[in-house]
A = this chain, B = another copy of it.
Amino acid sequence: MARVARALREEVHRANMALARSGLVMGTFGNVSGVDREAGLLAIKPSGVPYDALRPEHIVPVSLATGEVVDSDLRPSSDTPTHLELYRAFPSCGGVVHTHSAHATALAQAGLPVRCLGTTHADHFRGDVPVTRPLRKAEVAKDYERNTGLVIVETFRRKRISPDEVAAVLVASHGPFTWGQDAAHAVQNAEVLEYLARMDILVHAAAPRGVKRPAPFLVDAHYLRKHGPGAYYGQKGRK
């Protein structure tokens, strides 16, 4: 198990450092985790450790089954229970990122989704990035971080959104979570989400009374051009 943890720690460390370089985090805000489903472990940034002091051995392995720390003296990110619920509910999720990136967080604070307004969005996410309902008092008082994960899962179930097609969410009055096939892709999605949120707010500024949404057939065509079985973007299928 030690060897599994080492590879996972290195992957998660690399992804955390990529997040730090991305400009999406300020101070110690933000965290990245990755998962090894065979080993039954996620691994995540320790709580409150500055990025410039972060080394692979600081990354904290946590049991997917019990939520307990494995083989570390450090306390994992306080958001760990949120990550845990996402791994449990979304079977293809291989990495999770949480940031307070300015534009995505502003929309979360406004209680607004990141609207799917064009092909840049549809290239990455098949429809709006939803915003959760606010947590109830009891959900905040006890197991707050776990309930944050559960309200994300509830949002995708109630709105019948596939977490594979929309790998991002805004938690109301809080901020964005993104995920992906591994920790590195989850970081890429955090960067894309912030860019889309920035453009959405620019559209709010330019067209305060609202805009005509792109037709579903345009959204689907772009999403499937990159992600469907008939994808013809990139060099896949070529040598």
Contact = CB atoms under 8 A, between A and B. Distances in A.
Interface string A92-134: 0000000010110111111110000111100000000000001
Contacts of A46: 235
B109 A203 contact: yes
A162 interface: no
Interface stretch (A4-12, A150-158, A205-213): A205-213
A231 B46 CA distance: 15
B235 A173 contact: no
**Interface size of A as a range:** 35 or more
B26 A191 contact: yes
Nearest to A103: B202
Contact of A175 (B100, B120, B175, B191): B120
Contacts of A26: 191-192, 195
Given A27-B188, A112-B206, A118-B174, 6 more contacts: A29-B120, A74-B238, A102-B199, A119-B173, A134-B214, A140-B218
A161 interface: no
A201 B202 contact: yes
Contacts of A109: 117-118, 199, 203, 211
A162 to B, nearest CB: 22
Interface string A66-109: 00000001110010000000000000000000001011011111
Contacts of A205: 201, 204-205
A173 B175 CA distance: 26
Contacts of A221: 140-141, 144
A81 B191 CA distance: 29
B235 A199 contact: no
A233 B78 contact: yes
A181 interface: no
A146 interface: no
A63 interface: no
A14 interface: no
